[in-house]
Amino acid sequence: MKLKQGIIVAVANKFADVKVDDKFYQAHVRQKVKINNLLVGDQVGLTIIGENQAVIERIFNRKNQLYRPRIANINQAVIVNALTKPTFNTLILNKLLTLFNFYQIDVVLVFTKTDLITKNDSVWKKVKYYQDLKYPCYFISNPNQAGIKELSLIFKNKFSLLTGVSGVGKSSLLNSLDPNLNLTTNEISLTLKHGKHTTTTTKLYFLLDGIIADSPGFMVLKLQGLTKFDLALNFPVIEKYVNKCKFNDCLHQNEPGCAVIKNLNDQLNKYFYQDYCKILLEFINLH
């Protein structure tokens, strides 16, 4: 009998929730498959055995997979950043960009809270760095819905990972994209200068003719699956100079013939390089 194909939307205990077309099933897993191997986003082949019951027979090959959140087959990563409250953090954004560059996942940048700043605010200088790198950038305000209509178009026919630190407005953004969701949003912690966690597990939302995975907010991002050389090869801005370095294993610190150091005062932005050095040092100390 031909297997039905579905997508894993949740994994818990000895079962997985699977969406097949427009219907959801609670699925047992064949022993040969092993439930610990399943990830949200996996495409699976299954046998329907009842009205809402199924058995997962196989996992199809993945296009990609991430460690945190544990998810597979992402088409694009939508990184949400607040222009203020919390302060725009280039260090965390550059970590994320390095990670998605390594996994070859397309990135879209969303900047929220445009209603809380002016055109003369210094944060726009930092934003321009990313526009110059040709990342698609969208600017929105959830309270007055500015930019939401244009942003909603990017999700069609895509499996998108919505990510970013706590407090940047991911839940508010989802409510703006679909008011029927009515998701809980939390205030900013003024003492800690970052948001209180709202999302606790990765959830999939089937809307705008696509799938949006909302991952938990985080304050510490570890670059799982990468080596220090992967970091040196995939960091934003730096990546376009690495093939010009004298040594293939150059970490762009004090090595002779380093093209990154050579261009530091020319085309390479110092802010990006400072972030790179901080991330590299943190990475080395953790490994």
Q: What whole-number distance in Å separates Cα of residue 241 and Cα of residue 229?
A: 14
Least Cα distance to 241 among 207, 215, 273 occurs for 273
pLDDT of residue 18: 94
pLDDT of residue 192: 30
Q: What whole-number distance in Å separates Cα of residue 36 and Cα of residue 100?
A: 24
pLDDT of residue 201: 62
| CA quadruple 270, 124, 220, 234: dihedral, nearest 10 | -50
pLDDT of residue 221: 60
pLDDT of residue 72: 94
pLDDT of residue 35: 76
Q: Are 248 and 238 in contact (CB under 8 A)?
A: no
pLDDT of residue 184: 62
Q: What is the largest CA-CA distance in the chain?
A: 67
pTM: 0.87
Least Cα distance to 46 among 38, 37, 55 occurs for 55
Per-residue pLDDT tens, the chain, 287 aa: give them.
689 999 999 887 778 899 999 899 999 988 888 777 889 999 999 999 988 999 999 999 999 998 777 899 999 999 999 999 888 989 999 999 999 999 999 999 999 999 999 989 999 999 999 999 999 999 999 889 999 999 999 999 999 999 988 778 788 899 899 988 877 654 333 333 333 333 346 778 899 999 999 876 543 466 778 999 999 999 998 888 888 999 999 999 999 999 999 888 766 778 889 999 999 999 998 87
The dihedral through the CA atoms of 162, 119, 124, 150 has a sign that is: positive
pLDDT of residue 237: 86
Q: What is the DSSP letter of 237?
A: T
pLDDT of residue 196: 39
The residues near 106 (Cβ < 8 Å, ≥ 6 apart) are: 75, 76, 77, 100
pLDDT of residue 159: 95
